Amino acid sequence: MNDFLFNPTLALSQSDWVLFGIFGALIVLGVVELIIAKSSNATVVKDFHRRLQRLFFTIGILGAVWAGMRYLFVPYLGTRFSVVLILTVGIVWSAFIIFYAANKYGQERKEWDRRAMKEKYLR
């Protein structure tokens, strides 16, 4: 197990290529979230998609840096332990976003819709 997590000199395996693809997909999802956030006119929706965009870009770029370090066999930074840390940070960050979406987003969205409707008829 120690050799698997902490040895940067191992040849690239299929799991490394899968992780490279996952991190690339996260960067693409960050771009999609950026487009969605720009196209939305509701500030609450923009804020939610910006949260997702920051998560996807940050984890994707950190993963891309790790992929480069792994591909170049850089000691310490190219270990699989580094990717475990990156993925752990992503999972914890995702948990906070899911908590926000489950508890606060719906209320904020209803309040924003109510205010938008009120402003629409007051004009």
- Is pLDDT at 29 greater than 90 in this prediction? yes
Measured CA to CA, the distance from residue 89 to residue 98 in angstroms comes to 14
Q: What is the pLDDT of residues 66-105, one digit of tens each?
A: 999 888 888 778 888 888 999 999 999 999 999 988 988 8
Task: Give the distance from CA 9 to its chain's centroid.
Answer: 28
DSSP 105: I
- Is pLDDT at 106 greater than 90 in this prediction? no
pTM: 0.82
Q: Which amino acid is at 121?
A: Y
Q: Which residue from 71, 68, 76, 63 is spatially nearest to 7, judged by alpha carbons?
A: 76
Q: What is the pLDDT of residues 58-68, one digit of tens each?
A: 999 999 999 99
